Amino acid sequence: MPEPVVELRGVTFRYPAASASEPVLEDVSLDIASDDFLGVIGPNGGGKTTLLKVILGLVQPQRGTVRVFGSSPHRVRQRIGYVPQHAQIDPSVPATVLDVVLAGRVGRSSWGCRFGRAHHRAALDALGQTETRDLAGRPIGTLSGGQRQRVLIARALAAEPELLLLDEPTAGVDPHVELGLTDLLHRLNRRLPIVLVSHDVSFVSTHLKRIACLSRRLVCHRADEVSRELIAEVYHGEVRAVEHGEPCALADPGCDAGCGDGAERGPNAAPSEARKT
């Protein structure tokens, strides 16, 4: 059996300023395979973003081991693409879309922020993968939210990663844009593993292969195993399901990868949202 792309064993982490409080992550173990499409859900403060930072080697756990591609995370960081939550792009900065995507090549450039033809080709290829190549010359501040999110994914892809981490990539976009992003991620998952943090339980249970429920401690489930009872346990409270009939614009017809076709949307017949009450 091939070695996991990511392997966490007994990881415990707390931020220094909170040394006297409970850890953010406690005894977390996780394997991520080369074809994985893993969703990470859980309450605010449950450790989701911190988990991504541990995989990236941006923070070091006090206990446990982390291996990425069989090595320490900081040694292989260039092989990981990362789309952070709420990535800030100042619309007043006179940068084009291509400039932003080229920033993803910094780790592969021996000249810092000076980019040659090979780097431009890689950036344009990343824009092509996200169907935004026609935006290359546009000022970044003129893009819609959905376009900007695709460009940020292109920036991560420009590094030619072998693992893609995304933190809330569908937050703040409308349902039609979300569906397009979903199709894009399915295409990318054909060639690289993806880990996606989200608060949208229905999204991850409909479109992803596995779900990691994280609230300090982590438990993995197949997407079809997610239930309202499980979600209530993860979010530490009763969950209110918001049901949508077919005429509603939020009803998810399934993406081009076939998700949701002829099946109920989870958890347990598919709310578009799950809210703690």
Q: Residue 116 above 90 pLDDT? A: no
Asked which of 105, 131, 161 is the last residue of a domain, the reply is 161
- Give me the CATH number covering residue 22: 3.40.50.300
Dihedral sign, CA of 148, 150, 153, 155? negative
pLDDT of 19 higher than 70: no
My answer on whether 181 and 243 are in the same domain is yes
Contact between 167 and 83 under an 8 Å Cβ cutoff? The reply is yes
Kindly report, residue by residue over 145-164, the tens digit of the pLDDT: 888 889 999 999 999 999 99
Q: Where do we find the tokens 């049901």?
A: 243
pLDDT band at 274 (very low <50, low <70, confident <90, very high): very low
pLDDT over 80 at 268, yes or no: no
Bridge partners of residue 230, in order along the sequence? none
* d(C-alpha 112, C-alpha 115), whole Å: 8
Say if residues 27 and 217 touch (Cβ distance below 8 Å).
yes
Q: Specify if 186 maps to a domain.
A: yes
**In this predicted structure, what is the pLDDT of residue 251?**
47
Mean pLDDT of 212-236: 82
Instruction: Name the residue range of residue 22's domain.
Output: 6-69+162-276
Asked if 171 and 262 sit in the same domain, the reply is yes
Q: Which of 161, 181, 209 is the endpoint of a domain?
A: 161
Verify that 168 and 271 share a domain, yes or no. yes
Token pair of 252, please?
């998810």
Looking at residue 215, what DSSP letter applies?
E
Dist CA 273 CA 270 (whole Å): 8
37: nearest Cα among 162, 152, 192? 192
The tens digit of pLDDT for each residue in 38-76 reads: 999 998 889 999 999 999 999 999 999 999 999 999 999
Residues pairing with 68 in the sheet: 6, 71
Residue 272: which of 201, 178, 186 has the closest Cα? 201
Q: What is the pLDDT of residue 174?
A: 76
Tokens 């998952």 -> residue: 189
